[in-house]
Structure 1
Amino acid sequence: MRMKTFAERLNKALRASDMSQAQLASRVGVSQPAIWRLASGQTSTSRRLVEIANALNVSPEWLMHGEEILNTERPSSIEVKNTDDNSYHIESLDIQTNSDIDVTASTGLSETIKGIIYTTEQANALFGNRSSKVVKIITVLSDSMSPSIESGDLIFIDISVNYFDGDGVYIFALDGQLYVKRLQSMYKKLAIISDNKKYETWYLDEEEFSYVKIIAKVLLRLSSDHQRFA
């Protein structure tokens, strides 16, 4: 019988793997209450989806959507079909309802735009074969990344990249504060760079970087520089 909800599938996979919620939380690096919220249906997804699926020996597709049987063949990325064959819906990133992140300050980002719809052809040109489930948008309200990203710009991000995936621009949390910065790997340290030269570059050593929670990698921006005609 097909499990209808994420919580049902998660609990089935936990039973099949003979794993407790605490053990799963430890394996994927989240708190036990975060797993409890998923298993009880209080939250319906996690940014650690791929890690949770790997730990439970199931595919991310099955865990998220129930579209595959429980098995050990796990694809490298999440592929989800849109209900409308010619539309690609991108939703705003919602930090406040994320069960894995405790952010107390997020003044640099805003959910100004609730969503954007592209045709699949446009989306493929912009995002390649990424599923709409992993592409999100959010508005940047800081000038720290100017001129690469101006205050008021929309950025498109990939929430499946919740780890350091090489040099690039990321959204990450540290000590309850949310940042959009360029991360650059250096010998035994990580540079956190603001493209705006008015802001200083700072560095984290290997131990300090373990406290960084990467939320997503920035893919591209949509400029807020509008030309008014009326």
Structure 2
Amino acid sequence: MSSQSERLKEARLKAGLSQKQVAEAVGMKQPSYNYLEKNDKGGSAKLPEIAKVLNVDPYWLRTGKTTSDVDADLKKLLENSPVLELDSNGEDPDRIWIDLVNIRFSCGDGESIEFHYDDVLARREIPASIFKKHNVKPENTKLALATGDSQEPYVCNGDEFAIDLSDTEIRDGEFYAVYFEGEAMLKQVFKEQGKKLILHSLNPKYKDKVVSSDNGVGFRVIGRQFYRAG
């Protein structure tokens, strides 16, 4: 598989643009853009904008995969239900244990979506009352980690949060784990006129992201966030 820098250069040449033209289109300095084409580990919050200028899938630009690969990952996530350990044999256990697996969602500028199902970081106990309160089945739950500060003080960097994978229908103002423009994010989602969605950050230093018919082809709702633990 090619590296990010190679894909970036390949897409730029195919688009018939110079480094300077791409850099100016996204508000970067040409040396900063050149760094991205020269360094395999070069990262930038501008990558989704660069992908738009080059008319390529931002997820492909970041990872070398396509949005169909994202769907495959999400399907795998749904099929790999968490390992549950109930501390009693009754139908209404007081304690439910769920694996915290290495699934990370950005509370910042976003990051490539990566699911490491076999990497169990810890086991966490969630009271059965939490599932009852939110009408969530434990078998539909995944625990994930938040990275970044865009949802502070509600969700902070390093916090763990639970996702209901069966709940993907947007309810105005609720928090959802989503995939958008090559990024896995935890965002508060609002509905707007014209079938637009606003991906909102509580931290005012982060701008809202708008999902529309123009850019929402690869948008995916992974699940609703219903529980958090700092």
Looking at structure 2, the residues matched to 123 and 193 of structure 1 have their Cα atoms a distance apart, in angstroms, of 25
> 2:123 pairs with 94, 115, 127, which one?
115
> 1:89 pairs with 91, 94, 97, which one?
97
SS in 2 for 1:199: coil
Q: CA deviation at 1:183?
A: 1.2
> 1:213 pairs with 206, 209, 220, which one?
220
**Are 1:145 and 2:178 an aligned pair?**
no
Looking at structure 2, the residues matched to 44 and 219 of structure 1 have their Cα atoms a distance apart, in angstroms, of 18
Q: CA deviation at 1:207?
A: 4.0
Determine what percentage of the aligned residue pairs are the same residue. Answer: 16
The residue aligned with 1:46 is: 79
Contact 1:183 1:193 in 2 (8 A): yes
Looking at structure 2, the residues matched to 44 and 157 of structure 1 have their Cα atoms a distance apart, in angstroms, of 11
Change (3 A) 1:204 1:93: same
The residue aligned with 1:175 is: 181
SS in 1 for 2:215: helix
The letter for the 2-side match of 1:105 is: S
Structure 2 gap segments, 5+ residues each = 1-66, 105-109
Contact 1:172 1:179 in 2 (8 A): yes
**Are 1:203 and 2:207 an aligned pair?**
no
Change (3 A) 1:211 1:88: same
State the Cα deviation string for residues 135-159 of structure 1 (Å, max 9, x = none).
2221212101112211122112211
Q: CA deviation at 1:191?
A: 1.2
Q: CA deviation at 1:212?
A: 0.6
The residue aligned with 1:154 is: 160
> 1:222 pairs with 221, 226, 229, which one?
229
Looking at structure 1, the residues matched to 177 and 113 of structure 2 have their Cα atoms a distance apart, in angstroms, of 11
Q: CA deviation at 1:203?
A: 1.4
TM-score (norm 1): 0.51
Structure 1 gap segments, 5+ residues each = 1-28, 50-79, 97-102, 224-230
Richer in helix (by share): 2
Q: CA deviation at 1:179?
A: 0.9
The residue aligned with 1:13 is: none
Q: CA deviation at 1:44?
A: 8.9
Looking at structure 2, the residues matched to 172 and 45 of structure 1 have their Cα atoms a distance apart, in angstroms, of 14
Richer in strand (by share): 2
The letter for the 2-side match of 1:156 is: A
Looking at structure 1, the residues matched to 155 and 72 of structure 2 have their Cα atoms a distance apart, in angstroms, of 32
Q: How many residues align?
A: 147
Change (3 A) 1:131 1:205: same
Looking at structure 1, the residues matched to 199 and 78 of structure 2 have their Cα atoms a distance apart, in angstroms, of 29
The letter for the 1-side match of 2:224 is: K
Change (3 A) 1:160 1:203: same
**Are 1:191 and 2:191 an aligned pair?**
no
Backbone CA RMSD of aligned residues: 4.0
